[in-house]
Amino acid sequence: MKNKTRICILLAFVLLLLSACAGTAQGTDSTPAAEDEWNAPDEDYLAKLSQQDQEKENPQTEPKRVGVAMPTKTSERWINDGMNMKAKLETLGYEVDLQYADDDIELQVSQIESMIRNGVNCLVIASIDSTQLTEVLSQARDKGIAVIAYDRLLMDTDAVSYYATFDNKAVGTLIGRYIEDKMELKSASEKGQSYTIEFFMGSPDDNNAVFLYNGIMEVMKPYLKDGTLVCRSGLTEFEDTCILRWSEDTAEETCIRLLNEYYPGGDLDIACSAFDGFAYGILKAWQKKGFSMDKLPMITGQDAEKPAIKNIAEGKMDMTIYKDTRVLASKCVTMVQALLENGEPEINDTTQYHNNVLTVPSYLCEPVVIDRSNYEEILIGGGYYTKEQLFQ
Ligand code: BGC
């Protein structure tokens, strides 16, 4: 009995000890003091950690910025170019700073400087004077900012990676061939007939203007030589026919002067104009001279602006060159992506566009002739303009 009692007491003691231990273990979780020691992570902190993990796997960077410098709003095409570029770049997630410089070179330089200061990653530039940006382009190059020449080549600089444009010589060739076909110059030449012609060429500070002139002259020269085309003013060289800053007013003044001096009876057959804006100036000159609108010369143009298409539909102008700015913007955007995301830009010319420092890899879009016979199908059918936009 005595032993039994001892065993019972021992058992009770062991049980007591066990339960005390268990109690202490539970207490670790429940005592307020212990709670203070356990710094439970707050939800914000956990969220931050998980965001950091995500960022390591998939870095969330700031959107890259692209500066788009356009020359002017006075001509419709540049408004379309700017709008298309901005929309396409924004769709891809880029931040876009689009600026127009009112054909003022200093303003364009200061706009580009401010884009550089604001930390753009890439510059897309349609210059006013292609030779006047060398200094600001050096600043861009020194900061590692990529530069793309838009429509007009940037001259005298190594700070340009790509060039997106239209085939500028082809623009001239198309205008020349149109005149050749519609005036039937081949048969006129055979028959010894002749037509009078005057030239209104593009701006001397725009490389495109020279390409265009060369394209026109490739077709026109033989006819000027054999007397099928007669330029009474004798002004057939680029230097004599170019019009600074593509100014409509200057084209009008030039036309009035030429009509006064060489065509007082209004017997000018062809006004070979390199730009829709010049065509408007020529039409104004014709009206100011009081010549009959039924005896207009053949008038050419470039850009397929809305007023030009209206003129063509009304028989006041003969043709223009359509440059689909949507296509140009798309090609240029592939260049931006190539430079900023290691993409592969589309290039189709690596020989023609030397800017006095380097041959700039280029994409040349295709220009298209527009006249009365096809404007509806190509421009309206192709969704470039609506009928309302053209004829309202
Ligand atoms: C463009 C033409 C435009 C002209 C005047 C040129 O650089 O290539 O499309 O008509 O500028 O704006």
Residue from 250, 303, 323, 364 whose mutation best tests the ligand 1 pocket (most atoms within 8 A of CB): 303
- Whether 277 is in a domain gets the answer yes
- pLDDT score, position 26: 41
- pLDDT score, position 311: 98
Write out the two tokens for 267: 């017997």
Q: Does the pLDDT at position 356 exceed 60?
A: yes
**Position 140 confidence tier, pLDDT thresholds 50, 70, 90:** very high
| CA–CA dist 161, 152 (Å, integer) | 13
**Position 54 confidence tier, pLDDT thresholds 50, 70, 90:** low
In sequence order, what DSSP letters do the residues of 273-323 get, joined into one string? ESSHHHHHHHHHHHHHTT--GGGPPEE--SS--HHHHHHHHTTS--EEEE-
For residues 172 and 153, membership in a common domain is answered with no
Q: What are phi and psi of 99, to 5 degrees?
A: -130, 140
For residues 128 and 208, membership in a common domain is answered with no
For residues 198 and 288, membership in a common domain is answered with yes
Instruction: Give the position, in ligand 1's atom list, of the atom nearest the Cα of 206.
Output: 7
* Distance from residue 323's CA to the centre of ligand 1 (Å): 10
Query: What's the whole-model pTM score?
Result: 0.84
Q: Does the pLDDT at position 290 exceed 90?
A: yes
For residues 125 and 247, membership in a common domain is answered with no
Q: Which residues sit opposite 195 in a β-bridge?
A: 229
- pLDDT score, position 161: 96
For residues 209 and 188, membership in a common domain is answered with yes
Instruction: Give the position, in ligand 1's atom list, of the atom nearest the Cα of 166.
Output: 8
> Mean of the pLDDT values across residues 76-91?
97
Domain boundary among 265, 292, 322: 322
For residues 230 and 135, membership in a common domain is answered with no
Instruction: Give the position, in ligand 1's atom list, of the atom nearest the Cα of 72.
Output: 12
> Mean of the pLDDT values across residues 154-175?
98
- Whether 57 is in a domain gets the answer no
- Whether 30 is in a domain gets the answer no
Residues 6+ apart with CB under 8 A from 303: 75, 76, 77, 275, 276, 277, 320, 321, 322, 323
For residues 234 and 254, membership in a common domain is answered with yes
> Mean of the pLDDT values across residues 200-228?
98
For residues 316 and 342, membership in a common domain is answered with no
For residues 146 and 188, membership in a common domain is answered with no
* Distance from residue 140's CA to the centre of ligand 1 (Å): 25
- pLDDT score, position 34: 38
Q: What are phi and psi of 155, to 5 degrees?
A: -95, 160
Instruction: Give the position, in ligand 1's atom list, of the atom nearest the Cα of 168.
Output: 8
Residue numbers of the domain that contains 285: 168-322
* Distance from residue 360's CA to the centre of ligand 1 (Å): 19
Tell me the average pLDDT of the chain.
Answer: 90
For residues 198 and 154, membership in a common domain is answered with no
Domain count, the chain: 2
* Distance from residue 246's CA to the centre of ligand 1 (Å): 8
- Whether 331 is in a domain gets the answer yes
Q: Does the pLDDT at position 220 exceed 80?
A: yes
CB-based pocket (< 6 A), ligand 1: 75, 77, 151-152, 206, 208, 246, 275, 302-303, 323
For residues 298 and 332, membership in a common domain is answered with no
* Distance from residue 201's CA to the centre of ligand 1 (Å): 11
- Whether 236 is in a domain gets the answer yes
* Distance from residue 144's CA to the centre of ligand 1 (Å): 29
* Distance from residue 96's CA to the centre of ligand 1 (Å): 23
- Whether 91 is in a domain gets the answer yes
**How do beta strands 368-371 and 319-322 pair?**
antiparallel
- Whether 29 is in a domain gets the answer no
For residue 180, the domain's CATH number is 3.40.50.2300
**Position 50 confidence tier, pLDDT thresholds 50, 70, 90:** low
Domain boundary among 266, 289, 322: 322
Residue from 246, 278, 327, 332 whose mutation best tests the ligand 1 pocket (most atoms within 8 A of CB): 246
- pLDDT score, position 244: 98
Q: Collapsing DSSP states into helix, strand and coil, what is residue 375?
A: helix
Closest listed residue to residue 186, CA positions, set 231, 217, 223, 227: 223
Closest C-alpha to ligand 1, atom 5: 246
**Position 366 confidence tier, pLDDT thresholds 50, 70, 90:** very high
- Whether 343 is in a domain gets the answer yes
Instruction: Give the position, in ligand 1's atom list, of the atom nearest the Cα of 275.
Output: 10
Instruction: Give the position, in ligand 1's atom list, of the atom nearest the Cα of 126.
Output: 7
Residue with more model confidence, 10 or 140: 140
Residue from 208, 242, 320 whose mutation best tests the ligand 1 pocket (most atoms within 8 A of CB): 208
For residues 317 and 341, membership in a common domain is answered with no
Residue from 206, 244, 273, 366 whose mutation best tests the ligand 1 pocket (most atoms within 8 A of CB): 206
Q: Does the pLDDT at position 83 exceed 80?
A: yes
Taking only the tens place, the pLDDT of each residue in 113-131 is 999 999 999 999 999 999 9
Domain boundary among 292, 322, 352: 322
**Position 20 confidence tier, pLDDT thresholds 50, 70, 90:** very low
Residue from 72, 73, 75 whose mutation best tests the ligand 1 pocket (most atoms within 8 A of CB): 75
> Mean of the pLDDT values across residues 231-246?
98
